[in-house]
Amino acid sequence: MLSTLSITNYALIDSLEVGFDKGFTVITGETGAGKSILLGGLSLVLGKRADLSSLRVKDEKCIIEASFKIANYGLQEFFEENDLDYDANTVIRREILPSGKSRAFINDTPVTLDVLSQLGENLIDIHSQHQTMQLTENDFQLKLVDALAGNQKRLAEYSSGLKTYRKAQKELNGLIEVQSTANKEHDYNTFLLTELENAPLKVGIVEELEEEYEQLNNVELIIEQLSKGDQLFNDEQMGVLPLVTEMRQSLAKLVNFGSNYKDLYQRVQSVLIELDDVNSELQRIHEGVEANPDALEAVSAKLQLLYNLLKKHNVSEVSELIVIKNELADKVFETAHLDEKIALKTRELQDMESVLEEQAVVLREKRKEVIPELKAKLEGDLAQLGMPSASFEIGLSPSDSFTATGMDELSFLFTANRGGSYGELKKVASGGELSRIMLVIKAILAKYEKLPTIMFDEIDTGVSGEISNRMADIMKDMSNDLQVFSITHLPQVASKGNHHFKVFKTEGAERTMTNMKKLNTEERVVELAHMLGGKDLSDSALAHARQLLN
């Protein structure tokens, strides 16, 4: 429910702040007084685009703020999805800067116009000639049928299933596309994988092979130097071991002459032990070294293979080749199992289709049940609005594809004249007829759905007398379930409002301003009398006005 509206520096409005209550609110005023300006300002706060022409004073910003009571609107999820602070008394603010830029806020959080517009659609339904054309759209007509059929929960379940189904369809198409590409690459990927699997891939392998290659490739030099080392260790006259052994024997004769001689002896003994160990290791290695052309060739081949693979895959480390091998293995595995995945996903889709078809059939049956009731109600209500011969032909036929509303095609045909040819609303109904049909439909919807605040902008244009009374009764009856506004030129409609606001102009010394005020009972009598008899107030006009209010 719209509870307050504040407008500053917009068009002919200098500063305006009004509060609204639930029920039926009427807004009147002479032609050109600024009722359209009020609607324009409200549209801006609901997300309509703006320009500098909106500014009354060009070097000051325009601010439009509206507060709504939304506790019963079920909008918590919308606020969560858009990361907004939810408040049962939500405030929307729109600012238009002198630079031409605009800003929008929901509960003081900056938002885009798209988010503002989405929220606005759930807060106020402004009925206009453009919005009346919505009546001619198939989805809107089907929404009316579903409201009477109580299909809201069924539609939500169907819509959720359809969303899952379309996601699965997209996944299946993706798998088929991947398969098409993968099949072309499968043989090459398999070849690359086999090549890598046959290579001795492990971290550090290149360094190991290079070391082994150097040893095998220089075996003669190694044998020669090991032999020389053996000779240096064991030569009887100049060998290291005989000389150190002799030194140890000499020092052994001095150990009893002091600790320093004993320490020296022990150190030489340790050196001799270490030298003896080195000599043993040298001899062991020497015995194991021999020329092996076959081994040299094998190591060289492995190294060359690794060098070629590193170059081929444009990497510098074997660890990177291992990563590539694993990735190729995954690709080859995925390709080999894509047929299985596609078959599984296809079966899933078929199961989903069966469920959706069952849900669509239930929706269709429920719709068929209420179509006679809807036809009778529409024709009966329109008869009271001066269209006694109005008649509808509403048909439902199954379609072959899933749509957002099921698997139905709705035929919603109309004629305003007895014996006339039926046709689509947009082709056979006049603007005045469409307005009355829309009013009747909104009244029906209000009984079955939680509608937002509705503002009718001169929906009563072109009617008078008893018909305008009936239109006012319909709007007043709607206001039992939701907040209803009507901008009207008809006193019969204005008199039925729970609350009455007047839009008027005042002429200042330098400029004209539009303002708005809530009328008390006596002010309403005067306003209605003006609407009935013009500027000159007569006793009969005042009496008629009082009669209308009573």
Lowest mean pLDDT among 72-81, 102-111, 123-132, 388-397: 123-132
Residues 215 and 310 in one domain: yes
Q: Would residue 349 count as lying in a domain?
A: no
pLDDT at res. 131: 61
pLDDT at res. 459: 83
Residues 205 and 330 in one domain: yes
Mean pLDDT confidence for 385-391: 92
Residues 101 and 191 in one domain: no
Residues 6 and 86 in one domain: yes
Mean pLDDT confidence for 411-429: 89
Each residue's pLDDT tens digit, 318-371: 889 999 999 888 887 777 778 888 999 999 999 999 999 999 999 999 999 999
Residues 200 and 317 in one domain: yes
Residues 202 and 312 in one domain: yes
Mean pLDDT confidence for 401-421: 91
- Dump the DSSP string for 439-489: HHHHHHHHHHS---EEEEESTTTT--HHHHHHHHHHHHHHTTTS-EEEE-S
Would you call 497 exposed, middle or buried from its count of C-beta atoms within 10 A (0-12, 13-18, 19+)? buried
Among candidate residues 308, 335, 362, the one where a domain is terminated: 335
User: Greater confidence, 93 or 506?
Assistant: 93
Q: Would residue 252 count as lying in a domain?
A: yes
Banded pLDDT at 503 (limits 50, 70, 90): very high
CA separation for the pair 106, 85 (Å, rounded): 8
Mean pLDDT confidence for 3-11: 91
Q: Would residue 367 count as lying in a domain?
A: no
Q: Would residue 68 count as lying in a domain?
A: yes
Among candidate residues 313, 335, 357, the one where a domain is terminated: 335
> To 5 degrees, how large is the angle CA 472–CA 29–CA 523?
80
Residues 93 and 211 in one domain: no
Q: Would residue 306 count as lying in a domain?
A: yes
> To 5 degrees, how large is the angle CA 534–CA 540–CA 541?
30
Q: Would residue 395 count as lying in a domain?
A: no
Q: How many domains does the chain have?
A: 2
Q: Say yes or no to pLDDT of 1 above 70.
A: yes
Residues 194 and 331 in one domain: yes
Residues 94 and 210 in one domain: no
Query: Phi/psi of residue 396, each to 5°?
Result: -135, 130
pLDDT at res. 533: 81
Q: Provide the CATH number for the domain around residue 471.
A: 3.40.50.300
Q: Say yes or no to pLDDT of 129 above 60.
A: no
Residues 187 and 84 in one domain: no
- Read off the amino acid at residue 270: S
Banded pLDDT at 452 (limits 50, 70, 90): confident
Measuring CA to CA, which residue among 517, 448, 529, 508 is closest to residue 482? 448
Query: Phi/psi of residue 484, each to 5°?
Result: -125, 130
Q: Would residue 445 count as lying in a domain?
A: no
Q: If you count DSSP H runs as helices and E runs as strands, how many of each does the chain have, helices first?
A: 18, 15
User: Greater confidence, 187 or 307?
Assistant: 307
Using only C-alpha atoms, the chain has a radius of gyration, in whole angstroms, of 46
Each residue's pLDDT tens digit, 244-264: 888 888 888 888 888 898 999
Average confidence score pLDDT of the chain? 88
Q: Would residue 504 count as lying in a domain?
A: yes
pLDDT at res. 357: 95
Each residue's pLDDT tens digit, 274-328: 998 998 888 888 877 778 788 888 888 888 888 888 888 898 888 899 999 998 8
Range of the domain at 473: 1-123+452-519
Each residue's pLDDT tens digit, 23-65: 999 999 887 777 878 888 888 898 888 776 777 778 888 999 9
